[in-house]
Amino acid sequence: MRGRRHPLVNQQPQDLRDDELLRTLGYKPVLTRRMGPFGNFAISFSVISVLSGCMTLYGFGLNTGGPAVMVWGWVAVGAMVMFVGAGLAEVTSAYPTSGALYYMADQLGSKKWGWYTGWLNLLGLLGAIAGIDYGAALFTGAFANLQWGFQPTPAKTVIIYLCILLLHALLNLFGVRLVSILNSISVWWHLTGVAVVGGVLWAVPAHHQPASFVFGTFVNDTGWNSHWYVVLIGLLLAQYTFSGYDASAHLSEETTGAQVNAARGIVHAITWSWLAGGILLTGLTFAIQDYTGTQTTSTGVPPAQIFLDALGTGGAKALLLIVITAQLFCGNAEVAACSRMVFAFSRDGALPGSRWWRQVSDRTRTPVHAVWLSAAVAAVLAAPSLYSSTAYGTVTAINVIGITPAYAIPIYLRLRNRRTFRPGPWTLGTWGPLIGWVAVLWVAFVTVLFLLPQSYPVTADTFNYAPVALAAVLLLATIWWHVAGRRSYDTPTYGTARETAELEEEIV
């Protein structure tokens, strides 16, 4: 345990400015702090985006457990994610940097802990961009199908996806203030959107499913015989949606009062998403008119078929526009979070070409090259969707198995060093160890779960490629560690800001 590297945040004056604290943690401030507490909460809430995660994986849920698993799985997973979020928030309060998870692991463990945490975090963030924006492309194709008779083939969907990625990259080049404004709008759009979708689906259709159907119907169209196995893999819908809340930590160097506001942003984003997602999922499921027709919809998007059957073409298109806009907000926020992770990881020399990716625009104070790298890699991750109908499920699983373990590693290291860990002003107190161990055990469970095959029989088309992606990233990380990382990767020692003229020139 490298105790000398711990930030002694509780020994600092309460009015210590954010940038002074950042210098104490070892970094020279180069990003602009224009994000307040609501903006920090908004970015995690936007990334979680129940109108993205719940809607894009709703078809997966219809086949993998059906209504009962979707609804009760949402309740159970949400409860467990609250433990993970609270544990992560406590560590974030002590280490509010753009590097977030890997910096925490490095300070609490060792360089290797930080190295592998960073690569897992990066894999998850890139998978999240791909999952969110590809989902938006699917819904955009469904809208175009209703509006103009557009046939959303895989190739056409990928083209839409690339256009959305380009839009998000361009929006992220204008600076964090625009990102913050868009995220603030996104919060109200999501909350209002969930209320409108739920309210319309409750008030307009002449027929609703009974409560026994919504809360008690189990459906297994996966090919697996074990109902318990199907129940477990059906949790992917909720676990995938409940990811990305580390965005609050990644934007902490651009947040005022980051020690408190970034930690609160994580917890508040999970809480409000849990409530909103429950309303959305039950509203959708009550409104199903034809279960089989919804599963096999020609639109390619089961929620679109629910809207169409329950409301007609006009109502369906209106609700789809609400969902698509929310998904666009979500993807934009995820690009912002991922680009800050790329910037921070490169600032510490971890990525090939780090000198290039860590550069910040002197006009917008934005890591421009990191933004483009994030969008480019996300584009590659979705390429298998051209050939495989199950590729989207793999992309979402990549997000979960990459980012979720990265959440647990800092929490575990905080538990391992609980006697020397010095919390920030946002702390769990005596509840910290219990909450932390629940979080770590849950993450270990779901990580193994989503490495398993999701459909049977297992063929080249139905194979879950998430373990391959995970193995590839870990192999790349190991090779790069021995080739260059052990010499180039270096986080600063506590209390020693790296402020040499050479580094300043490289970054700016």
What tens digit of pLDDT does each residue of 401-420 get?
Answer: 788 889 999 999 999 998 88
The listed range with the strongest mean pLDDT (74-88, 108-122, 396-410) is 74-88
Comparing 431 with 366, the larger pLDDT belongs to: 431
Residue type, 501: A
What tens digit of pLDDT does each residue of 293-344 get?
Answer: 999 998 888 999 999 999 999 999 999 999 999 999 999 999 998 999 999 9
pTM for the whole structure: 0.87
Residue 220, SS3 per DSSP: strand
End-to-end CA distance of the chain: 34
Residue 130 · residue 378 · CB < 8 Å: yes
- According to DSSP, the residues that pair with 255 across neighbouring strands are 35
Residue type, 439: A
pLDDT bin (cut points 50, 70, 90) of residue 363 is confident
Residues 6+ positions from 67 with CB-CB distance below 8 Å: 209, 213, 214, 215, 216, 217, 219, 285
Calculate the average pLDDT of the chain: 88
Percent over 70 (pLDDT), the chain: 91
What tens digit of pLDDT does each residue of 189-246 get?
Answer: 999 999 999 999 999 998 999 999 999 999 999 988 999 999 999 998 999 899 889 9
Backbone angles phi and psi of 458, in degrees to 5: -85, 115
Which pLDDT score is estimated for 433?
A: 94
Which pLDDT score is estimated for 1?
A: 38
Residue 453 has pLDDT above 50, yes or no: yes
Residue spans of alpha helices (H) in 176-301: 176-203, 211-216, 227-233, 236-241, 247-250, 258-286, 291-295
Which pLDDT score is estimated for 438?
A: 98
Which pLDDT score is estimated for 7?
A: 44
Residue type, 315: G
Q: Is residue 233 within a helix (H) or strand (E), and if so which, with residue range?
A: helix 227-233
Residue 366 has pLDDT above 80, yes or no: yes
- SS3 of 11-38: the string is HCCCCCCHHHHHHHCCCCCCCCCCECHH
Which pLDDT score is estimated for 290?
A: 95
Q: In terms of residues, how long is the chain?
A: 508
Percent over 90 (pLDDT), the chain: 58
What is the spatial distance between Cα 383 and Cα 402, in angstroms, rounded to a whole number? 19
The DSSP 8-state label assigned to residue 25 in this structure reads T
CA dist list (Å): 348 to 1, 98, 122, 344, 503 = 20, 11, 14, 7, 11
What is the spatial distance between Cα 123 and Cα 338, in angstroms, rounded to a whole number? 10
Query: What average pLDDT does range 474-498 have in this prediction?
Result: 82
Comparing 288 with 501, the larger pLDDT belongs to: 288
Q: Is residue 219 within a helix (H) or strand (E), and if so which, with residue range?
A: strand 219-220
Other C-beta atoms closer than 10 Å to the C-beta of 42 total 31
Backbone angles phi and psi of 127, in degrees to 5: -65, -35
What is the spatial distance between Cα 261 and Cα 266, in angstroms, rounded to a whole number? 9
Residues 6+ positions from 11 with CB-CB distance below 8 Å: 422
What is the spatial distance between Cα 331 and Cα 169, in angstroms, rounded to a whole number? 10
What tens digit of pLDDT does each residue of 456-468 get?
Answer: 887 777 777 778 8
Which pLDDT score is estimated for 5?
A: 43
